Amino acid sequence: MKRERNFFFYRKRSTQAGMTMLETVVALGVLLVAATGVMGLAGVALSTTETQGHLAARTTEYAQDKMEQLLALKFCDGDVTGTAGTDTRVFPAVVGTGTGLAGCSNMTNGTAQGGGGLNTTAPTAGYVDYLDASGNLVASTGAWQYVRVWQITAMGTSMKQISVKTQARRAVGNSGRVPEATVVALKTYPF
């Protein structure tokens, strides 16, 4: 009787000992469909990370660089009726050939005038520069990867608002917004 019991147990176990080829093919097919879905998601994640992470961080960094350069100028740099201001569109900046901070002597109704604008598609001359992929200034507008525009707004006779906007040329992938960053600071007289 003991022998019959072992035979029955062995027989039952041997019929369920492995997977058939059909089961293996079906399992691989399900795995392939799941992997294809995940790979599509990985592509979207990669382009979003590059656009909104890497490029957005660079636009912010380049806007801050320009802001620091402009804040280092004197409050009245760039009197339009006197001498020209510092040209910050080149590196190193050249004194007496640019717009500076739009000066102090161009007063209208007791308020100093400003200059520039924050429109990257139609920038104001003298208030725009272009950078390559490494953040270096480029002379040709055809080789740029980032555009920086800035605006000086007079707020009375002793305060100016300086705004700098940097925008990347393109986003990575088909979807996604082109990264841009705007930095704003106030500068007071006489500093």
Specify the pLDDT at position 113.
64
Query: Which contacts of 124-132 are long-range, i.e. CB under 8 A and separated by 24 or more positions?
Result: 124/149, 124/151, 126/89, 126/98, 126/99, 127/99, 127/151, 127/152, 128/89, 129/66, 129/88, 129/89, 131/62
Average pLDDT of adjacent 10-residue blocks, the chain of 191 residues: 56 62 90 87 75 84 95 82 77 86 64 80 92 89 90 88 93 78 92 78
User: What are 21's two structure tokens?
Assistant: 């080829």
Nearest to 115 by CA among 98, 127, 105: 127
Query: How confident is the model at residue 21, as a pLDDT?
Result: 86
pLDDT value at residue 150: 95
Domain boundaries, the chain: 44-188
pLDDT at residue number 72: 92
Which residues partner with 108 through β-bridges? 111
Angle at CA of residue 122, ends 168 and 128, nearest 5°: 65
Q: Which pLDDT value is given to residue 14?
A: 55
